[in-house]
């Protein structure tokens, strides 16, 4: 087998990431050597590969679905929003500058198409199949000229396109038809068919509509995937905890001890790597929620200040909303607080930032003996070590360099009383370390909580990926999907007017 496929969507959040991962896991279980790819990703949820490259975390998750190591080739362009109108551009795993949306779409993006196609071509030369993920909708006609992730990639690489639609939102048939009808004849020739996602109910009631859609477009429906809770692992952005819903619902066992632990995560602006708390939510008896008001910290046994792409802005937000004062009270009372990356930095004495916000010297919350200076060069690393008597690993993505002036060492950061801080993302995925940390939190909070001795975050993640593979295997037309990946879009697909505007 040698081929590829681009998974597009009628909208953002139609399920492209999880469908791509599901197809990857299905293929690898068939003995196919497969890799994921996304030409351009816009996300604050990123990951560091073994070679020290920063890519979208969704592509790292998809690589795991393929049972391969993620590389920068799988996501050559990553955009990390820094506000409403500008983003940091990460090219082949390294930041190359900040650009406004107008500046990026005005010329820079189109110039990157060659790099994107070269990366895809290299992957296709190494793997039996490459499953590509699109972004947003391929019918965003205002952006088609500079597109390097949807039809620009499909046309450049000759890939067939499968369009995913979220029926749970309503209007899926109109979305399928309209997506095709707004594309040029050349683009339409690659749109092979449709996949309905998140269906609830009796699928026989949907079949007449699928038959009519086939008649109207001449394109094949490739299946109807039922709605399943908790399949949105490693989402690109948002306030969701990507594994929280699934793991909490599937972990039917009661808390291992007498009490539960309540974790409040401050929903800071430009929150990054919110998946850091997934591993906490995977523990039976740990309840995780996002908060934005000080009163919501009152009953929390642990407060997490997560990473952010806007550290100074997050500081301002914490102060404006009264959360800074609430965190200071917690620290004075000896109640646990954990800061991760940008959240660690805001807990320090001050920040000198002439890089991210260009705000100069800004006072921090003063809860940790740490001073932070932002450097133009970004730290990208995969550190390993030991803490609380347990081995632990993680990954670092930050411009701020911390000078630790006291406290008890904790990973790369420190601990003072019950305030903990580290730059390490992903450290809580280390099972022994997570259990040791939660025992410390429970003792400080006076809770009779006991971590379950057998929770394996890696095993839970594998279980999730297998569930995605099962969805494709049991509910998609896998014979037709196989032919599509191997042979490309069928010849003679009809043109649906009006087509793209000139």
Residue 165 to residues 131, 170, 176, 210, 473, Cα–Cα distance (Å): 18, 9, 7, 12, 18
Which of 220, 341, 399, 475 is catalytic? The answer is 341
**Residue reference for tokens 């038959």:** 211
The residues with which 381 forms a beta bridge, in sequence order, are 396
Contacts with 304 (C-beta within 8 Å, 6 or more apart), sequence order: 263, 264, 265, 266, 276, 277, 280, 337, 338, 339, 340, 343
- Judge whether 425 counts as a catalytic residue: yes
- At 181 the three-state DSSP class reads helix
Q: Report the distance separating Cα 415 and Cα 348, nearest Å.
A: 11
Which of 220, 398, 399, 425 is catalytic? The answer is 425
Contacts with 492 (C-beta within 8 Å, 6 or more apart), sequence order: none
Contacts with 51 (C-beta within 8 Å, 6 or more apart), sequence order: 71, 72, 93
Cβ contact 455:282 at 8 Å: yes
241, burial (CB in 10 Å: exposed 0-12, middle 13-18, buried 19+): buried
Phi, psi of 253 (to 5 degrees): -65, 145
Helices (H), 148-228: 151-157, 172-181, 185-188, 207-217
Cβ contact 414:374 at 8 Å: no
Helices (H), 412-495: 431-445, 457-475, 478-487
**Residue reference for tokens 């800004």:** 362
> What amino acid positions are annotated as catalytic residues?
341, 425
């Amino acid at each position: 087998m040698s081929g590829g496929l681009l998974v597009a969507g009628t909208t953002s959040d139609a399920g492209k990431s999880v469908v791509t991962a599901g197809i990857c896991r299905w293929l690898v279980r068939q003995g196919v050597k497969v890799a994921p790819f996304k030409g351009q990703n816009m996300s604050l949820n990123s990951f560091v590969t073994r070679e020290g490259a920063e890519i979208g975390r969704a592509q790292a998750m998809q690589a795991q679905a393929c049972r391969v190591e993620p590389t920068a080739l799988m996501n050559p362009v990553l955009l990390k929003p820094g506000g409403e109108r500008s983003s940091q551009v990460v090219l082949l795993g390294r930041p190359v500058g900040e650009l406004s949306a107008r500046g990026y779409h005005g010329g820079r993006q189109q110039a990157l198409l060659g790099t994107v196609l070269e990366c895809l071509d290299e992957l296709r030369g190494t793997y039996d199949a490459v499953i590509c993920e699109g972004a947003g909708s391929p019918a965003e006609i205002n952006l088609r000229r500079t597109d390097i992730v949807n039809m620009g990639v499909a046309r450049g690489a000759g890939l067939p396109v499968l369009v995913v639609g979220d029926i749970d939102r309503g209007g899926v048939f109109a979305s399928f038809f309209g997506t095709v009808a707004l594309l040029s004849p050349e683009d339409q020739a690659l749109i092979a068919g449709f996949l309905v996602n998140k269906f609830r109910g009796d699928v026989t009631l949907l079949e007449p509509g699928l038959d009519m859609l086939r008649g109207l477009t001449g394109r094949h429906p490739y299946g109807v995937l039922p709605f399943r809770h908790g399949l949105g692992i490693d989402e690109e952005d948002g306030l969701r905890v990507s594994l929280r819903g699934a793991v909490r619902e599937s972990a039917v066992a009661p808390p291992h001890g007498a009490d539960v632990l309540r974790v409040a995560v401050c929903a800071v602006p430009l929150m990054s790597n919110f998946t850091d708390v997934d591993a906490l939510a995977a523990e039976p008896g740990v309840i995780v929620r996002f908060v934005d008001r000080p009163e919501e910290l009152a009953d929390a046994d642990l407060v997490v200040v997560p990473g952010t792409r806007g550290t100074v802005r997050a500081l301002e937000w914490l102060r404006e909303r009264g959360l800074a004062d609430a965190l200071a009270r917690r620290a004075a009372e000896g109640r646990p607080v954990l800061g991760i990356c940008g959240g660690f930095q805001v807990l320090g004495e001050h920040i000198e930032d002439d890089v991210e916000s260009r705000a100069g010297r800004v006072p921090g919350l003063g809860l940790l003996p740490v001073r932070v200076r932002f450097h133009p060069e970004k730290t990208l690393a995969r550190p390993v070590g030991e803490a609380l008597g347990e081995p632990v690993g993680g990954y670092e993505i930050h411009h701020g360099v911390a000078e630790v002036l006291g406290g008890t060492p904790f990973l790369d950061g420190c601990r003072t009383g019950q305030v903990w801080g580290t730059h390490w993302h992903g450290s809580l995925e280390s099972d022994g370390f997570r259990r040791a940390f939660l025992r410390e939190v429970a003792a400080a909070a006076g809770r009779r909580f006991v971590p379950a001795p057998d929770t394996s975050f890696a095993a839970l993640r594998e279980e999730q990926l297998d569930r995605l593979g099962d969805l494709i295997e049991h509910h998609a037309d896998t014979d037709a999907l196989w032919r599509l990946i191997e042979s490309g879009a069928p010849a003679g697909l009809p043109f649906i007017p009006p087509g793209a505007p000139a």
